[in-house]
Amino acid sequence: MKIKAIAAMDESRVIGIRGGLPWHIPEDTRRFAALTTGHTLLMGATTYDSLPSGSRPLPQRKSIVLSRSRTLIPGAEVWPSFESYLEHCRDGVERPLSDTLWVAGGEQVYRTTLQYWDEIYLSLIPGRHEGDTYFPEFEANFELVSTEQGKSCAFLLYRRL
């Protein structure tokens, strides 16, 4: 199974504020949907709760939510840790929807899964925004393999060295 992180961050590494995104960029939202549809998404409870209520769970995707305090989240499987979910998959008890697991945030989930990532699909949002959650530093273990300039942001692809 390939483990890929997907995120949008600004020039100061901000990814969120008060449980939501500090920006609304339809181009980035469309890219997120195109890349993750048909796959399993791993996220924290705050990230899951930030999804529009009519879109939870996201269509045509399986949602895995990491939470140590919640055991039931409608529309999602809840696991206390990434390691417990990964072990569950490795034991063959359950298979993800595809051979790709997308890590979709938030900050704590990114930090605890970083060591497992094969690739990072990063949308770089111009400017500096107010925020309270940040994308972890990863550059020492990854190389930039492609850049595509969109209308509102740049789309970067990193692979593990």
Cα–Cα distances in angstroms (integers) from residue 74 to residues 23, 41, 63, 99, in the given order = 27, 15, 10, 24
Cα dist from 70 to 24, 42, 115, whole Å: 28, 15, 25
CATH number (domain holding residue 20): 3.40.430.10
pTM (predicted TM-score): 0.95
Q: What is the pLDDT of residues 23-75, one digit of tens each?
A: 999 999 999 999 999 999 999 999 999 998 888 999 999 999 999 999 899 99
Number of domains, the chain: 1
**Predicted pLDDT at 107:** 98
> Nearest Cα to 64, choosing from 87, 48, 88?
48
> CA nearest 9: which of 146, 138, 127, 148?
127
Range of the domain at 138: 2-160
